[in-house]
Structure 1
Amino acid sequence: MDKRELGVFLRSRRERIRPADVGLPAGPRRRTPGLRRDEVAHLAYISTEYYTRLEQARAPHPSGEVLEGLARALRLSDAERTHLYVLAGVERQGPTGPPRVVRQSLLDLLRRLPQAAAIVISATYEVLAWNDLACALMEDFSALSRRDRNLVRRAFLGPRPPDGRRLYGVSDSDEFARTCAQQLRTAAARYPDDPETVELIAELLSGSEEFAQLWEAREVVARPTLCKTFAHPVVGPVSVACDVLDIADRDQRVVIYTPEPGSPAEEAMRLLAVVGTQHLGAPS
C-alpha cells in the first residue's frame, strides 16, 4: 500500500469535482476547489476523520467496500478505479451490484442537451445523473437523497393522486410500473448478492401488493415506450418522445425526453428551461 500516493490521488480527484456534479449546493463560501473532505466522506458513507487520515497518509489499510464507496463518491473512471485499488494494495473484485459511476462523457452529453430533458438511471432505476431541464420537468433530483432518487420505489410506494397518474403524472404510469418490475427482476438475476437490490425488492414486496403480483408473474420482457405525457404542475401537459440508450458496459440507461419541434410541448419545455425549479413544488 502506497499511503502517500493514495492520499495525493484522493485529493486530486476530490478537487476536480464541482459540488453540482454530485447534487450538492455550491454555497457562498468555499475556500478550497472541488468538494470538501466531509462531503466526500458523506458520499462514500465513511467518517470524515477516516477520510482525512487517508488523504494525510495516516490511515490503516482501507477495505474494498471503502474503496468502492470512494470510487463512487469521486466519480472515478474505470482506469482511475483500478489505479485506486493498486495504490491501496487491494485486489479489485467484479461489481456485486449495479454500477453507479457515470462516465464523464455521458455527463457532458447531458449538459449539451439544452432542449431535451435527460437522465441516467441504473439497472435498479436509481437516477444517477440529470440535466437542468430534467429537474424542471420532473423534480430537483439534487435535493433528494439516494434512496428517494429511485424511480421504481417512488412508482410503487409513492403517493397515488386521484387521477391514478403516479410519478410526475406520466400518461403511461401503469405501463412504466410493469416495466420496472420486469427489468428489476432481470437486474436481480444479474446482481443476486447486492444487498441494496435485495433490500429494494423486499421493501417493494412488503409495501406494494401491485408490485408483489407483478413480481410473481415473473415477466422479464419490457415493452418499449416511445411517447409519454407529463402532467406538469406549472406548464400543464407536456408530451415528449422517450428514447432510451443502453450503456452496456455500465449496465445503465440514458433516458431522453424530446418534444416535437413546433409543438406546444416545445414551448412548454422552453418555458421550463427559463423557470427551472425555482417555482416548482413537490410532484403530486
Structure 2
Amino acid sequence: MRCYISTMDLRQLRHFRQIALSGSISAASGTLRIAQPALSRQMQMLEQELGVTLFHRTGRGVLLTAAGEALLTDSLTLIDEAEELGRRIRAFGGIPAGEATIGLSPTIGRLLTLPLATRVRRDFPNLKLRIAEGFSGTLLEWLQTGRLDAAILYHSPANSALRCEKVGQEPLSVIGSVVRPAFPPGDHVPISALKGHPLVLSTPAHGLRQMVERHAATADVKLDLLFEFDSLDATIALVKQGMALTILPESAVRAELDAGTLLAWPVGSPSLVRPLIIATAPQRPGAISARELSALLREAIMSAAPPENGKSTSAG
C-alpha cells in the first residue's frame, strides 16, 4: 500500500481516516463540513486510483476492507509525519498556535486541569485551550464525532482510527470519612470487606462504576449501593459526613486527604487499578498536531501523578 501513497494528497487521507473513524460517510460529512456527495466522490476516485475497494458499503454505514485497514494503518503514520514536518518548519516562525479541545472525566479533570492550563499559559501562549468534561463513554463518542482533539480514556477503544498511548495507571482506593473510619489506618481493603458498608458510586454509564462492579462480580461480592451520584463534589460531600464510602483514585481527593477530612484505603487482594490512555483523533483544521497534544497531556500527567504511574508505554 505504501507504494501508492505518493499519488494521494493529505486531504484525501484525512477524509478517508475520518470516514473510517465515524463509521459512515454521512457522519464524516458533518464532521468535515463537506457535502456527502462530494465526499463519496472523493472516496470513489481514491478507490479507482488505487485499484482496490476500501469500504464495504452497508445500510448502516461503512466497514473497512482488508485494503482499507492497510491504508488506515499507513495513513496514521504518514499524516503524523507530515504534521510533525509542518510543526518543525512552523517553529522557525515562532511559538506554535492554534486550538485544542481536550476531554477529561470529572476525576481526572480535578488532577489535570490546572497543570494543563499552567503549561499552556507558560509554553503555548498562542494556543486556545478548551476543556470538556464528561464520562468515559461520552468522551469516546465526542472523539469519534470530531468534537474533541484528544481525551484521557481508561481503555483502548477498538476503533483503530484513534491513536492511543498508555501513559500509566491509577490505583483505586476506598474513600471514607474521618468522622467514622471504616477500617484501620494503612490497611489494604479487599473488595469483599465492603460487604454491608453503604456505598455511593457513579451511575452505570461511568467507566469507573463498571470497573468496580466487574471487580466485585469476580470476587462474588454484592455491593450495598445506597446512592448513585454523577457529581464528584456531591459524592465527596456525602462521604465526608460519614453517610457512605466510595471508590476513587486518591488523586481525585488529594486536597481532602492532605487536609485530613477524608481517609483512603487502597483496594487490595487483588488490587484495583485503571489505565490512563491518551487518545487523539484525526487532526481538525486549526488544531495543533496529535503529537503536540500527546506530549502536552503526557507531561501534565507525569507532573501531577504519583511516581508509581511509571514511564509511558505504547498501547497501540
Q: Same fold (TM over 0.5)?
A: no
Give the TM interval when normalised to the shorter protein: under 0.3
Q: TM-score, normalised by structure 1?
A: 0.25
Q: TM-score, normalised by structure 2?
A: 0.24
